[in-house]
Protein backbone atom coordinates (compact mmCIF):
# COMPACT_ATOMS: atom_id res chain seq x y z
CA UNK A 1 0.00 0.00 0.00
CA UNK A 2 1.56 3.31 -1.01
CA UNK A 3 1.56 6.49 1.09
CA UNK A 4 -1.34 8.01 -0.82
CA UNK A 5 -3.55 4.93 -0.29
CA UNK A 6 -2.62 4.79 3.39
CA UNK A 7 -3.47 8.47 3.73
CA UNK A 8 -6.83 7.96 2.08
CA UNK A 9 -7.56 4.89 4.24
CA UNK A 10 -6.67 6.84 7.40
CA UNK A 11 -8.96 9.67 6.33
CA UNK A 12 -11.81 7.25 5.68
CA UNK A 13 -11.30 5.56 9.07
CA UNK A 14 -11.23 8.94 10.77
CA UNK A 15 -14.39 9.93 8.96
CA UNK A 16 -16.16 6.70 9.96
CA UNK A 17 -15.11 7.25 13.57
CA UNK A 18 -16.42 10.82 13.48
CA UNK A 19 -19.77 9.55 12.18
CA UNK A 20 -19.95 6.93 14.96
CA UNK A 21 -19.23 9.47 17.69
CA UNK A 22 -21.60 12.01 16.19
CA UNK A 23 -24.43 9.48 15.94
CA UNK A 24 -24.17 8.87 19.69
CA UNK A 25 -23.83 12.53 20.67
CA UNK A 26 -26.39 13.93 18.24
CA UNK A 27 -29.53 13.42 20.42
CA UNK A 28 -27.99 15.39 23.28
CA UNK A 29 -26.63 18.14 21.04
CA UNK A 30 -30.00 18.34 19.31
CA UNK A 31 -31.79 18.72 22.67
CA UNK A 32 -29.30 21.38 23.74
CA UNK A 33 -29.89 23.38 20.57
CA UNK A 34 -33.66 23.03 21.04
CA UNK A 35 -33.27 24.26 24.62
CA UNK A 36 -31.61 27.51 23.65
CA UNK A 37 -33.01 28.21 20.16
CA UNK A 38 -36.79 28.45 20.17
CA UNK A 39 -37.56 28.20 16.49
CA UNK A 40 -37.70 24.59 15.27
CA UNK A 41 -36.68 25.60 11.75
CA UNK A 42 -33.68 27.50 13.10
CA UNK A 43 -32.87 24.42 15.12
CA UNK A 44 -33.03 22.16 12.07
CA UNK A 45 -30.78 24.47 10.04
CA UNK A 46 -28.38 24.76 12.94
CA UNK A 47 -28.14 21.03 13.46
CA UNK A 48 -27.11 20.59 9.86
CA UNK A 49 -24.47 23.28 10.22
CA UNK A 50 -23.25 21.76 13.49
CA UNK A 51 -22.95 18.26 12.01
CA UNK A 52 -20.82 19.64 9.17
CA UNK A 53 -18.70 21.66 11.62
CA UNK A 54 -18.18 18.60 13.84
CA UNK A 55 -17.02 16.50 10.89
CA UNK A 56 -14.77 19.28 9.65
CA UNK A 57 -13.15 19.83 13.04
CA UNK A 58 -12.92 16.17 14.02
CA UNK A 59 -9.18 15.99 13.32
CA UNK A 60 -8.68 18.46 16.20
CA UNK A 61 -10.78 16.44 18.64
CA UNK A 62 -8.81 15.17 21.65
CA UNK A 63 -10.07 11.63 22.43
CA UNK A 64 -9.15 12.21 26.10
CA UNK A 65 -12.12 14.59 26.30
CA UNK A 66 -15.78 13.49 26.25
CA UNK A 67 -16.98 13.80 22.68
CA UNK A 68 -20.44 15.16 23.61
CA UNK A 69 -18.89 18.03 25.58
CA UNK A 70 -16.62 18.84 22.63
CA UNK A 71 -19.56 18.74 20.20
CA UNK A 72 -21.65 20.98 22.46
CA UNK A 73 -18.75 23.47 22.43
CA UNK A 74 -18.92 23.48 18.63
CA UNK A 75 -22.70 23.82 18.81
CA UNK A 76 -22.38 26.92 20.99
CA UNK A 77 -20.06 28.57 18.48
CA UNK A 78 -22.35 27.66 15.60
CA UNK A 79 -25.40 29.03 17.40
CA UNK A 80 -23.61 32.35 17.95
CA UNK A 81 -22.48 32.55 14.32
CA UNK A 82 -25.86 31.53 12.98
CA UNK A 83 -27.74 34.15 14.97
CA UNK A 84 -25.21 36.86 14.13
CA UNK A 85 -25.36 36.08 10.41
CA UNK A 86 -29.13 36.28 10.42
CA UNK A 87 -29.13 39.33 12.69
CA UNK A 88 -31.50 37.53 15.02
CA UNK A 89 -31.59 37.36 18.73
CA UNK A 90 -33.79 34.36 19.43
CA UNK A 91 -31.84 33.11 22.43
CA UNK A 92 -34.26 33.33 25.32
CA UNK A 93 -31.82 32.55 28.12
CA UNK A 94 -28.92 34.74 29.18
CA UNK A 95 -25.32 33.62 28.70
CA UNK A 96 -24.98 32.28 32.24
CA UNK A 97 -28.03 30.04 31.89
CA UNK A 98 -26.87 28.86 28.47
CA UNK A 99 -23.50 27.93 30.03
CA UNK A 100 -25.15 26.05 32.90
CA UNK A 101 -27.36 24.19 30.45
CA UNK A 102 -24.34 23.26 28.34
CA UNK A 103 -22.76 21.66 31.42
CA UNK A 104 -26.02 19.85 32.27
CA UNK A 105 -26.35 18.47 28.73
CA UNK A 106 -22.70 17.42 28.69
CA UNK A 107 -23.37 15.26 31.75
CA UNK A 108 -26.23 13.34 30.16
CA UNK A 109 -24.95 9.83 29.63
CA UNK A 110 -25.65 7.54 26.74
CA UNK A 111 -27.87 5.30 28.92
CA UNK A 112 -30.32 8.19 29.29
CA UNK A 113 -30.49 8.80 25.56
CA UNK A 114 -30.82 5.06 24.88
CA UNK A 115 -33.84 4.94 27.19
CA UNK A 116 -35.58 7.36 24.87
CA UNK A 117 -35.51 4.70 22.17
CA UNK A 118 -38.45 3.25 24.12
CA UNK A 119 -40.51 6.35 23.33
CA UNK A 120 -41.85 4.88 20.10
CA UNK A 121 -43.63 2.05 21.93
CA UNK A 122 -45.04 4.45 24.50
CA UNK A 123 -46.32 6.78 21.78
CA UNK A 124 -48.07 3.85 20.15
CA UNK A 125 -50.09 3.40 23.34
CA UNK A 126 -51.49 6.95 23.22
CA UNK A 127 -55.07 7.01 22.06
CA UNK A 128 -57.89 9.43 21.28
CA UNK A 129 -57.53 13.04 22.38
CA UNK A 130 -54.09 12.48 23.92
CA UNK A 131 -52.72 11.21 20.64
CA UNK A 132 -54.38 14.03 18.72
CA UNK A 133 -52.92 16.67 21.06
CA UNK A 134 -49.47 15.15 20.84
CA UNK A 135 -49.60 15.07 17.05
CA UNK A 136 -50.85 18.63 16.76
CA UNK A 137 -48.10 19.85 19.07
CA UNK A 138 -45.19 17.87 17.64
CA UNK A 139 -46.13 16.96 14.10
CA UNK A 140 -47.61 20.31 13.26
CA UNK A 141 -45.69 22.51 15.68
CA UNK A 142 -48.88 24.12 17.00
CA UNK A 143 -48.83 26.01 20.29
CA UNK A 144 -51.52 25.34 22.94
CA UNK A 145 -53.51 28.42 21.90
CA UNK A 146 -53.69 27.29 18.27
CA UNK A 147 -54.54 23.73 19.27
CA UNK A 148 -57.26 25.09 21.55
CA UNK A 149 -58.76 27.08 18.68
CA UNK A 150 -58.75 24.02 16.47
CA UNK A 151 -60.28 21.65 18.99
CA UNK A 152 -62.50 24.08 20.89
CA UNK A 153 -60.47 23.81 24.09
CA UNK A 154 -59.12 26.50 26.39
CA UNK A 155 -55.36 27.03 25.84
CA UNK A 156 -54.71 26.38 29.51
CA UNK A 157 -56.53 23.04 29.28
CA UNK A 158 -54.41 22.11 26.26
CA UNK A 159 -51.22 23.10 28.10
CA UNK A 160 -52.20 21.01 31.14
CA UNK A 161 -53.09 18.06 28.91
CA UNK A 162 -49.75 18.25 27.11
CA UNK A 163 -48.00 18.35 30.47
CA UNK A 164 -49.89 15.20 31.54
CA UNK A 165 -49.11 13.44 28.26
CA UNK A 166 -45.39 14.12 28.62
CA UNK A 167 -45.54 12.86 32.22
CA UNK A 168 -47.30 9.69 31.04
CA UNK A 169 -44.71 9.15 28.34
CA UNK A 170 -41.87 9.71 30.80
CA UNK A 171 -43.38 7.19 33.24
CA UNK A 172 -43.99 4.72 30.43
CA UNK A 173 -40.36 4.99 29.32
CA UNK A 174 -39.11 4.45 32.89
CA UNK A 175 -41.45 1.48 33.36
CA UNK A 176 -40.35 -0.16 30.12
CA UNK A 177 -36.69 0.51 30.89
CA UNK A 178 -37.10 -1.18 34.27
CA UNK A 179 -38.84 -4.16 32.63
CA UNK A 180 -36.01 -4.50 30.13
CA UNK A 181 -33.54 -4.35 32.99
CA UNK A 182 -32.03 -1.17 31.64
CA UNK A 183 -31.11 1.97 33.55
CA UNK A 184 -33.88 3.56 35.55
| Interface residue list for another protein (CB under 8 A) | 12, 27-28, 30-32, 34-35, 38, 40, 45, 48, 51-52, 55-56, 92-94, 96-97, 100-101, 103-105, 107-108, 112-113, 116, 119-120, 123, 132, 134-135, 137-146, 148-150, 152, 155, 159, 162-163, 166, 169-170, 173
Question: With respect to another protein, which residue has the nearer C-beta, 32 or 70?
Answer: 32
Cβ(133)–Cβ(165) under 8 Å?
A: yes
144: three-class secondary structure by DSSP: helix
Question: With respect to another protein, which residue has the nearer C-beta, 64 or 108?
Answer: 108
Rounded CA-CA distance 135/81 in Å is 32
Dihedral angle sign, alpha carbons of residues 89, 93, 99, 101: negative
Rounded CA-CA distance 18/73 in Å is 16
Question: With respect to another protein, which residue has the nearer C-beta, 32 or 67?
Answer: 32
Whole-number minimum distance, CB 150 to another protein, in Å?
7
Whole-number minimum distance, CB 45 to another protein, in Å?
7
Residue 57: other Cβ atoms inside 10 A: 15
Amino acid sequence: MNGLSRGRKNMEEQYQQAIRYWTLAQPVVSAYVTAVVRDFRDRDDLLQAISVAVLEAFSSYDPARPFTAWAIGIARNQIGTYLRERKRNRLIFDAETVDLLAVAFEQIDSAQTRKLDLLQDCLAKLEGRARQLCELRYQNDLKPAAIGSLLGMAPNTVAKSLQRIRDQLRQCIERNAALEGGPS
